[in-house]
Amino acid sequence: MKSIRLGNGSVALARGGKVAAAAMLAAGQLMGFEPIAPDLGVGLNPAGVICAANESRFTSANYSEALTALTVGWKDPENVDAIVQRLFPEVEVSRRFEFKKATNAQAFLSEVDDMRAPGMPFKRVEYSGSSANEKTHNKGLTIRIDHDEVDDVQVAIAQAIERLQQRLMRNELRRGIALLEANDATAGIVFSAATNPDGLVRAALKASADVTGVRPNIVVYGEAAMDLRLDAYEDPTRVNGGNRAEKTMQQLAQYFMVDTVEVVKARYQSSATAKSLIVPSTVYAYSAYQGASKDDPSSVKRFVSKSRNGQRFGVYVVEHEKFTDVTVEFYSNLVCTGLGIVSRTVTAA
């Protein structure tokens, strides 16, 4: 074992089309995801490259429980991890699990003959639904640290762990938005001085509730869509804007009668010279609840399984004479579990 010091404490370091879009999403081939180099094997990958590591790397000898513990208090400087937690709440399950896809209409059946006659039993009702078998997928990335390129290998390892966590959660956010896009009922709306942007979103919420019987509890704005909303209410020709442009996200959530309104401003590197918004000029509305079980009704769920020592992330470290490979992994599966996802593509005219 080799001791390293991080911060004020020491830790131990162990050696060693929509259908098409949905299919691409499941295969991890969604357009725009940065290509990941294949793992060429121990000692063969170039330094400074993030690659998909093969299974032989993930042995108990390379698993670092101490460094995995460092991920517990990790805080993403860009807040992408917190956004994922709010928009796609975790539902903890085992690696392989079964969940119910209930028939939506059955939750809203009603009768007037629920009174029991003397000596007779109550009317019996039954709820049917299909069972789906799924599993959480092992996701992770590896980064190689060349010892000649850093001043302090131990500090570089800690920085690599944070960078990999942030990148993994950015990928997870993109998968979540792609899942919404692949399963939504969409339409176009105009945010301008002549329209009521908030009223148009409220109408979309009502349309979803009319289909599912449950009003969505999450509304997600792309940065461009929110900019158009603000422009529409701040337009000097508007006569009925009031102070709507000054509403906080909490006030907007109260107005929409939902739990969360989120503006996603995160970007990703879409080409060698350009960055793109993860959420386009779109407003999404759907149901996803904090603390839900695997069988509770919702539009989407993010099923997760814990790593070896019960944490969200696992860390593997393989040390060599001239370089160190650091891998961060986690288990999850984003699934559309119900109806009611609506989206509105926003334009200014």
Task: With respect to residue 244, please indicate whether it lies within any of the assigned structural domains.
Answer: yes
Task: With respect to residue 246, please indicate whether it lies within any of the assigned structural domains.
Answer: yes
Task: With respect to residue 205, please indicate whether it lies within any of the assigned structural domains.
Answer: yes
Mean pLDDT, residues 159-175 taken together: 92
Residue 110 scores a pLDDT above 70: no
State the pLDDT at residue 58: 62
Token couple for 51: 């690659």
Task: With respect to residue 53, please indicate whether it lies within any of the assigned structural domains.
Answer: yes
State the pLDDT at residue 74: 55
Q: Are 326 and 157 in contact (CB under 8 A)?
A: yes
| Spatial distance between the Cα atoms of 228 and 197, rounded to a whole number of angstroms | 9
Q: Are 185 and 343 in contact (CB under 8 A)?
A: yes
Task: With respect to residue 117, please indicate whether it lies within any of the assigned structural domains.
Answer: no
Could you read off the pLDDT of 49-84 as tens digits, one per residue?
Answer: 666 666 555 666 566 665 665 565 556 667 899 999
| Spatial distance between the Cα atoms of 116 and 186, rounded to a whole number of angstroms | 46
CATH number at residue 82: 3.90.1690.10
Token couple for 42: 């121990």
State the pLDDT at residue 10: 37
Task: With respect to residue 124, please indicate whether it lies within any of the assigned structural domains.
Answer: no
Please give the single-letter amino acid code of residue 186.
T
Taking alpha carbons only, the member of 193, 189, 249 closest to residue 219 is 249
Please give the single-letter amino acid code of residue 171.
N
Instruction: Give the β-pairing of 2-6 and 9-13.
Output: antiparallel
Token couple for 275: 């960055």
Task: With respect to residue 112, please indicate whether it lies within any of the assigned structural domains.
Answer: no
Could you read off the pLDDT of 258-303 as tens digits, one per residue?
Answer: 999 999 999 998 888 999 999 999 999 999 999 988 888 889 999 9
Q: Sorting pLDDT into bands at 50, 70 and 90, what band is 7?
A: very low
| Spatial distance between the Cα atoms of 221 and 252, rounded to a whole number of angstroms | 12
Q: Sorting pLDDT into bands at 50, 70 and 90, what band is 333?
A: very high
Query: Per this entry, what is the length of the chain?
Result: 349
Lowest mean pLDDT segment, chosen from 20-34, 221-235, 240-254, 312-326: 20-34
Q: What is the mean pLDDT of the chain?
A: 82
Q: Residue 275: which domain range?
A: 2-103+134-347
Residue 105 scores a pLDDT above 80: no
Taking alpha carbons only, the member of 16, 152, 150, 9 closest to residue 69 is 9
Task: With respect to residue 271, please indicate whether it lies within any of the assigned structural domains.
Answer: yes
Q: Are 83 and 263 in contact (CB under 8 A)?
A: no
Q: How far is CA 76 from CA 10, 72, 85, 164, 194, in A?
A: 22, 12, 12, 11, 40
Q: Sorting pLDDT into bands at 50, 70 and 90, what band is 1?
A: very low
Q: Sorting pLDDT into bands at 50, 70 and 90, what band is 113?
A: confident
Give the residue with greater pLDDT, 125 vs 329. 329
Q: Are 296 and 335 in contact (CB under 8 A)?
A: no
β strands within the chain, DSSP E: 2-6, 9-13, 37-38, 50-52, 90-92, 96-102, 129-135, 137-146, 185-190, 218-222, 260-264, 267-269, 275-277, 282-286, 300-305, 314-319, 323-336, 342-347
Token couple for 256: 């929409």
Mean pLDDT, residues 81-106 taken together: 83
- DSSP alpha helix (H) spans, 71-108: 80-87
Give the residue with greater pLDDT, 108 vs 152. 152
Q: Is 328 left (phi over 0), alpha (psi -120 to 50) or beta?
A: beta
Residue 13 scores a pLDDT above 70: no
Q: Are 282 and 291 in contact (CB under 8 A)?
A: no
State the pLDDT at residue 31: 44
Token couple for 305: 């399984």
Q: What is the DSSP letter of 14?
A: -
State the pLDDT at residue 3: 39
State the pLDDT at residue 302: 95
* Total of domains in the chain: 1
Q: Sorting pLDDT into bands at 50, 70 and 90, what band is 308?
A: confident
| Spatial distance between the Cα atoms of 286 and 87, rounded to a whole number of angstroms | 10
Q: pTM here?
A: 0.76
Handedness of CA 3, 8, 9, 12 (dihedral sign): negative
